[in-house]
Amino acid sequence: MNKTKKSLFERFIETHRAHPEIYAEFKKYTLVMKEREFSHYSPNGIMHIVRFHTSKSMRPQELWKCNNDFACCYARMFSFEFPEHADFFRLRVSKSLGDEEWKLKNLIHARDTSGVGS
């Protein structure tokens, strides 16, 4: 059996489709940090906040796992959705996302993400 390793984007899309609430929480806590007048913040820091707050209210069978690698994807989605806050996260060029980075922008503007990444 030949298993092809999935790209970061493909793995992210699977997680995002299964748990869109992760981005909702990521966005919520990013906006909280903006309201607290932080000029910059770490996407990984936001992910840790999301994990902490969601794990407090969920039963063990409801918990989801989110790879730290996805923090950059959520940060890029946030920057696309809120261009006025595009400099909030200091993001490097992503070799892992490569040419697929533009597809993250489409997630923000698509009502149905079922066709994204296919």
On whether residue 27 sits in a domain, the answer given is yes
Task: Look at residue 2 and tell me if it is in a domain.
Answer: no
Q: Tell me if 117 is assigned to some domain.
A: no
Does residue 31 lie in a domain region? Answer: yes
Looking at every residue in the chain, the average pLDDT score rounds to 78
The tally of domains found in the chain comes to 1
Query: What's the pLDDT score for residue 74?
Result: 92
The whole domain housing 108 covers 8-112
pLDDT at 118 over 50: no
Q: How far is the CA of 63 from the CAs of 16, 38, 43, 110, in angstroms?
A: 14, 29, 20, 26
Look at residue 44 in the predicted model and tell me its pLDDT.
93
What pLDDT score does 57 carry?
A: 52
Burial of 68 (0-12, 13-18, 19+ CB in 10 A): exposed
